[in-house]
């Protein structure tokens, strides 16, 4: 019996493809004669569940490229797919194809999916360190205690932490651990980040309270 073409299934019948992949997982990372992958097909045809399964369950490299050096982000045709690839699955938007263009530049030049091009352009401008954290989505932190002030100025070369003393290693560990999680960019991850920042600010207030402070009784 002839095995069905997985690339055709990726376009027309993703549920049947997933059944086939569970029987033969080696097909998940395969490429056709043009370097076209199942990731590219899932992205192009808008199959979110298939995309997630390929990356999470079958461990396919989300930055897999075809014969033109293009990842599956280059063939995304919906904003939902582009956001899933960037924010959830961790595709690298900075990868350039053989023509030296990023996905954003190629999509922008093509003019077919302007909302995706705008999204990728705005996203790329947010963080040069490839941690795509949209700060404007964060709720403002609690007000600082009355006896705490913030000085914004130039950091002295002799004060690597800006004169604030040693960074709490536990706080740094929690930040690093949160940033390394797969759901860092999700709503739940951002809520945890906001809570962590709020806790740190409250700790500053406690640590800077004068030891001889007394409650007024008059």
Q: How many C-beta atoms surround the C-beta of residue 103 within 10 A?
A: 28
Higher pLDDT, 196 or 206: 196
% the chain with pLDDT above 70: 70
Q: Got the DSSP string for the chain?
A: -PPPPHHHHHHH-HHHHHHHHHH-GGGGG-B-TT--BHHHHHHHTT-HHHHHIIIIIS---TT---TTS--GGGG--SHHHHHIIIIIS---TT-B-TTS-BHHHHHHHH-S-HHHHHHHHHHHTT-TTS----GGGSPPPPPPPTT------PPPTT-TTTTS-S--HHHHHHHHHHHTSTTTTSHHHHHHHHHHHHHHHHHHHHHTS-TT------
> What confidence tens digit (pLDDT) does each residue in 77-125 have?
999 999 999 999 999 999 999 999 999 999 999 998 999 999 999 987 7
Contact of 36 with 69, CB cutoff 8 Å: no
Compute the mean pLDDT over every residue in the chain, rounded to the nearest whole number: 78
For the chain, the domains span 6-128, 136-207
> What confidence tens digit (pLDDT) does each residue in 135-148 have?
444 445 454 455 55
Q: What is the CATH number of domain 6-128?
A: 1.25.40.20
Higher pLDDT, 63 or 4: 63
State the number of CA atoms in the 13 A half-sphere of 154 facing the CB.
3
pLDDT-derived band at 57 (thresholds 50, 70, 90) equals very high
* Rounded CA separation 110/102 (Å): 12
Q: What per-residue confidence (pLDDT) applies to 210? A: 45
pLDDT-derived band at 183 (thresholds 50, 70, 90) equals confident
């Amino acid at each position: 019996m002839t095995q069905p073409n997985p690339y055709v299934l990726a376009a027309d019948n993703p549920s049947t493809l997933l059944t086939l992949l569970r029987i033969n997982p080696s097909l998940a990372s395969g490429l056709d004669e043009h370097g076209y992958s199942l990731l590219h097909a899932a992205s192009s045809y808008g199959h979110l569940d298939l995309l997630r399964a390929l990356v999470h369950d079958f461990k396919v490299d989300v930055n897999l490229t075809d014969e033109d050096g293009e990842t599956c982000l280059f063939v995304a045709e919906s904003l939902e797919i582009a956001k899933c690839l960037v924010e959830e699955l961790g595709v690298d938007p900075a990868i350039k194809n053989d023509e030296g263009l990023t996905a954003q530049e190629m999509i922008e030049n093509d003019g077919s999916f302007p909302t995706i091009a705008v999204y990728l352009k705005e996203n790329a401008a947010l963080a040069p360190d490839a941690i795509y954290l949209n700060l404007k989505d964060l709720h403002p932190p609690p007000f600082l205690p009355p006896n705490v002030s913030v000085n914004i100025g130039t950091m002295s070369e002799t004060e690597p932490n800006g004169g604030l003393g040693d960074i709490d290693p536990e706080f740094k560990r929690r930040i690093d651990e949160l940033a390394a999680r797969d759901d860092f960019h999700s709503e739940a991850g951002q809520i945890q980040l906001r809570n962590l920042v709020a806790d740190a600010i409250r700790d500053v207030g406690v640590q800077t309270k004068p030891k001889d402070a007394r409650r007024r009784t008059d």
